Chains A and B, each alone.
Chain A
Amino acid sequence: MSTHSNHPFHLVDYSPWPLTGAIGAMTTVSGMVKWFHQYDISLFVLGNIITILTVYQWWRDVSREGTYQGLHTYAVTIGLRWGMILFILSEVLFFVSFFWAFFHSSLSPAIELGASWPPMGIISFNPFQIPLLNTAILLASGVTVTWAHHSLMENNHSQTTQGLFFTVLLGIYFTILQAYEYIEAPFTIADSIYGSTFFMATGFHGIHVLIGTTFLLVCLLRHLNNHFSKNHHFGFEAAAWYWHFVDVVWLFLYITIYWWGG
């Protein structure tokens, strides 16, 4: 590659990762077919392994291009920002569908549910116990990630490390508590529309918390390896945006599904 050009854009190297990613996705969904029809999860596991290897190497290469090769100019960074904004927008619409399904049923419960919400026979969670604690945890993690961001912009390495560390820790703590809630749940995903909408919404949120925590952990590792500067740290900003999004989704979940709908 050459680091000298007469334009500010990044013309990427030929990359195998879109192809291996496509093969990984195909193998994963084919593996689901095999799992459901032949009771064999080997192909499904193989697909996930291929996908994980692909995403690791793909994002590793992006980090190399941005940090070691200096290819992420201001113009390139603007493109990355728009990409992340649009990705988060798609995630917002993803969650809108679950909230839509929830409100569709909860605002006008059918006679089969006993014409009431929660449906007859459902014992819902007390919103002022673990769910409230989880709300406090995510709000606190929003503060710590902002602390890390401001520290980074002020070129304070140690404070950034602390902020990121505590954010990751709080994310893990949230996940542990949510897992405990699931274990202790008095209803399942198969228990009427309540169980379906509850576990779909909170389950996907939980997955997003795991993704966000991993994203922040990667940022922490990159920070410890001096990848970020006070002027060039979009990878961290993307993780912070994503984390704030996860936080806001939880607030909506808590208010509508745990509190109002419980």
Chain B
Amino acid sequence: MALPDGLSNKMKVFQAVNELPVFLKGGPADKILFGITAGLCGLGIVSFVHLVYTMGFAKKKA
């Protein structure tokens, strides 16, 4: 049975021999989404450090 065109095309894309890991093989959209995720993680870490600082060292308001 022949595979649907969409499925066979996807298989070719994701089975292509290159150095890209699976989470980036999908193309530019994958890179953008990964970049957003990484950026938000960075923001989360910075915010966490800021939270620890403000709760640990900032003086309480009178």
A→B interface (CB under 8 Å) = 1-3, 13-17, 19-20, 23-24, 26-27, 30, 33-34, 37-38, 42-43, 46-47, 49-50, 53-54, 57, 61, 64-65, 67-70, 225-227
Contact = CB atoms under 8 A, between A and B. Distances in A.
Best-surrounded residue of A3, A17, A23, A33 (most CB of chain B within 10 A): A23
Contact of B21 (A14, A20, A47): A14
Given A23-B41, A37-B55, 18 more contacts: A1-B21, A16-B23, A16-B34, A20-B41, A23-B44, A43-B44, A46-B40, A47-B44, A50-B40, A53-B36, A53-B40, A54-B37, A57-B33, A57-B34, A64-B22, A64-B26, A67-B10, A226-B4
Q: Is the interface of A mostly helix, strand, loop or mixed?
A: helix
B47 A53 contact: no
Interface in B1-58: 3-4, 6-7, 10-11, 13-15, 17, 21-23, 25-26, 33-34, 36-38, 40-41, 43-45, 47-48, 51, 54-55
Contacts of B38: 16, 20
20 contacts: A2-B17, A13-B21, A16-B23, A23-B44, A24-B44, A26-B44, A27-B41, A27-B44, A27-B45, A33-B55, A34-B51, A46-B47, A49-B40, A54-B37, A61-B22, A64-B26, A68-B15, A69-B22, A225-B6, A227-B7
Best-surrounded residue of B7, B13, B14, B17 (most CB of chain A within 10 A): B14
Nearest to B51: A34
A197 to B, nearest CB: 33
Interface of B: 3-4, 6-7, 10-11, 13-15, 17, 21-23, 25-26, 33-34, 36-38, 40-41, 43-45, 47-48, 51, 54-55
